[in-house]
Structure 1
Amino acid sequence: MIDFEWYRSFISIYKHQSVSEAARSRILTQPAMSQHLAALEAEVGEALFTRTTRKITPTERGKELYSRLAPLIETLEKTTLEIRHSIQSSPTIMIGSPIDYFSVRGLEKLKNSSLRVIHHQGESEELFDMLDQNRADVIITTQRFSKPGIEYKLIEKEEFFVSIPNGMAGPADEDNAEAWLLSKKWISYGMELPIIRRLWREHFKKRPELDPHYVIPDLRGILTAVEKGIGISLLPHYLIDDSVKRGTVKTVLQEYTVLNEIYLGYKTKNKTDPFFQEVIDELLKG
């Protein structure tokens, strides 16, 4: 008699194209996963995958079995999740992201969500580790680290503008934009000049020859410093909109912007969770 767990292991191996990765995703040992596959192949009567030293590839029979099983397994898992969540008064989801984006954009998008949200802040590599180690259900990141079983969706493109205190005079001659920028005190997110370095590379085709006057690893803190007249910086449109309207900050050199792509990262296996999908839908809203 076929064990249902053999089917789940087969689906996982098919998706990950790796016994070891499938074992990790199912929190099983690799020998246990291999035993499930061997038992299912014995029942079917032929191999479901061809194996080489580098990869595992489904056979034609494996492809046929997957096409029949996958919709049934996903429906069953979705139903199980719905039953489980229905008895919880307030399901919880853990989100990892930079605090700047989450505070301004994430909270606004999730304000009508029925879920409890636990937020963990971090930079791209930290966020990927959170997701990989199940310390976050979904991450918001500007970098995509490729790994089987993890997917990304583009949320939006953030545009960074040269932002200066409202009382500061802008460049008189835009032909000398670089000289004007180099003459100012810069406030940076880090000593390596993230985003600022990209502005120079994309618009001046070289590295910036400047040292930051202040390093503040918080975009909201940088905005406050610009408003106080401490210096200038590159800041995203969503963060400075209100300050521009209030007249505490203004943007100059409009053609010297930098675009940054922001992605949602999550494990493929969670897509069938209706509450997880609710969060994805909310965060993907404009």
Structure 2
Amino acid sequence: MIDFEWYRSFLAIYKHNSVTEAAKSRIMTQPALSQHLASLEAEVGEPLFTRAVRKMIPTERGKELYSRLAPLIEALEETTVGLRTASMPAPKVIRIGSPSELYGEMLLPNLKKFGLGTVTYFGHADQCLEDLKEDRVDLILTSKKYLEPGIEYVRYMVENFVAVAPREADVPNVRTLKERESWLSGQDWISYGLELPIIRRYWREHFKKRPQIQPVHMIPNLNLILKAIERGFGLSLLPTYLLQRSPSSAWKTVFEDLTVSNEILIGYKTIRKHVVQEFVNDLLAISEE
């Protein structure tokens, strides 16, 4: 009869490619873990790993067994966590990872509606993902969907971007895409990042090419980009929700029919879904108001 612990030992060896490291992760002695593997291989009838110098290489049979076992074991562990925490009170504090501008415009005005405390960590999408993976936050708001095992996403909102220029900018009354692209390419640009996020998508969607521009300023904060535009430093692309909440006579939109959208997602670990679900539901309900 197969012991369930043999499976867990097998998965640990597969993950670490080492009996020594697997034993440490399972808080077992190396001989005991090796016995688990030997017993499982005897039950299966063939080797699950090829022994190399300080490394365990899975055989084809080992790979097949792993692909079948991993989802089942993870599901069992998640069920155990759910049973253990089902009777626990909902958390009084939710830890959030988010870009500062999105938090300031969309979450901050609604904090009182959530009925709990929050701890927020600001950062770009990559940093927020790392915080989530390392359990520094419970959920993140992000514009990037990473294919990471054990992380789920739900759509939070769609933000629409439009070109914004200083009020005194001399914008020609042109209609063709070629003329518009020519004028835009000749302006000073302010970018959120060196890789031209959003700007590249704007160019691809409307002009079917990569932008041939070199930003004059790189400012990784949308609110500060708007302030720079108001001071006449150049053009940029900004979300319409930010413009609606920051009316000013110092800027104007350019070619308003040329917009580009960006999906904002809520990301969280599947294993902690029970912890964040109520808060996520509240976020979604508020976004639809």
| Pairwise same-fold verdict (TM > 0.5) | yes
Cα distance, 1:264–1:197 mapped onto 2, change above 3 Å:
same
- Per the alignment, residue 25 of structure 1 pairs with none
Aligned residue for 2:203, secondary structure, equals helix
* C-alpha distance in 2 between matches for 1:77 and 1:279: 20
In the alignment, residue 274 of structure 2 is paired with which amino acid? T
Aligned residue number for residue 51 of structure 2? none
**Alpha-carbon displacement from aligned partner over 1:129-155 (angstroms, at most 9, x marks no partner):** 111111111111111222221111111
**Aligned equivalent of 2:260:** 258
Q: CA deviation at 1:118?
A: 1.1
Write out per-residue CA displacement over residues 207-265 of structure 1, whole angstroms, 9 at most, x where no aligned residue.
21111122111111001111222211100111111334x44332121232111111111
Alignment of 1:22-33 (within 5 A): 29-30=25-26
**Contact 1:110 / 1:282 at 8 angstroms: preserved in 2?**
no
Q: Is the 8 A contact 1:131 1:139 kept in 2?
A: yes
Which segment drifts farther, 201-210 or 218-227? 201-210
TM-score (norm 2): 0.72
Determine the C-alpha separation between the residues in 2 that align with 1:268 and 1:66. Answer: 10
CA distance in 2 between partners of 1:72 and 1:242 (Å):
44
Report the equivalent of 2:49: none
The answer to whether the Cα contact below 8 Å between 1:20 and 1:30 also exists between their aligned partners in 2 is no
Structure 2 residue aligned with 1:163:
164
Counterpart amino acid of residue 263 in structure 1: L
Contact 1:96 1:122 in 2 (8 A): yes
Give the 5 Å matches for 1:9-48: 20=15, 29-30=25-26
Q: Who is 1:267 aligned against?
A: 269
Residues 71 and 183 of structure 1: CA distance in aligned 2, closer, same or farther (over 3 Å): closer
Counterparts of 2:104 and 2:134, CA distance in 1 = 24
Q: Distance in 2 between matches of 1:77 and 1:158?
A: 39
The residue number in structure 2 matching 1:79 is 86
Alignment of 1:102 with 2:126, yes or no, is no
Report the Cα distance in structure 1 between the residues aligned to 2:74 and 2:144, rounded to whole angstroms.
32
Distance 2:168 2:146 in 1: 42
Please show how residues 175-214 of structure 1 align to structure 2 within 5 Å: 175=176, 176-214=179-217
CA distance in 2, matches of 1:221, 1:66: 44
Alpha-carbon distance in structure 2 between the residues aligned to 1:66 and 1:222:
44
Separation of aligned partners in 1, 2:209 and 2:259: 16
Question: Could you tell me how far apart the structure 1 residues matched to 2:201 and 2:225 are?
Answer: 18
The residue that corresponds to 2:227 in the other structure is 224
Give, in whole Å, the separation in 1 of the partners of 2:97 and 2:78. 30
Deviation digits for residues 80-128 of structure 1, max 9, x if unmatched?
Answer: 322xx5xxxx822211111111111121343322222111111122111
Amino acid at match of 1:152: Y
Matches of 1:66 and 1:99, distance apart in 2: 34
Give me the TM-score of the superposition, normalised by structure 1.
0.73
Superposed CA RMSD in Å reads: 3.7
**Residues 1-150 of structure 1: matches in 2 within 5 Å?**
20=15, 29-30=25-26, 52-53=62-63, 56-57=66-67, 73=80, 76-82=83-89, 85=90, 91-150=92-151
Code of the aligned partner of 2:216: H
Q: Which runs of 5+ in 2 are unaligned?
A: 17-23, 45-60
* Cα pair 2:78 2:271 within 8 Å, conserved: no
Aligned length in residues: 250
Q: Is the 8 A contact 1:97 1:140 kept in 2?
A: yes
**Unaligned runs of at least 5 residues, structure 1:** 22-27
Q: Which residue of 1 aligns with 2:282?
A: 282
**Secondary structure class of the residue paired with 1:153:** strand
* Distance in 2 (alpha carbons) for counterparts of 1:137 and 1:128: 11
CA distance in 2, matches of 1:141, 1:66: 25
Q: Which residue does the alignment assign to 1:24?
A: none
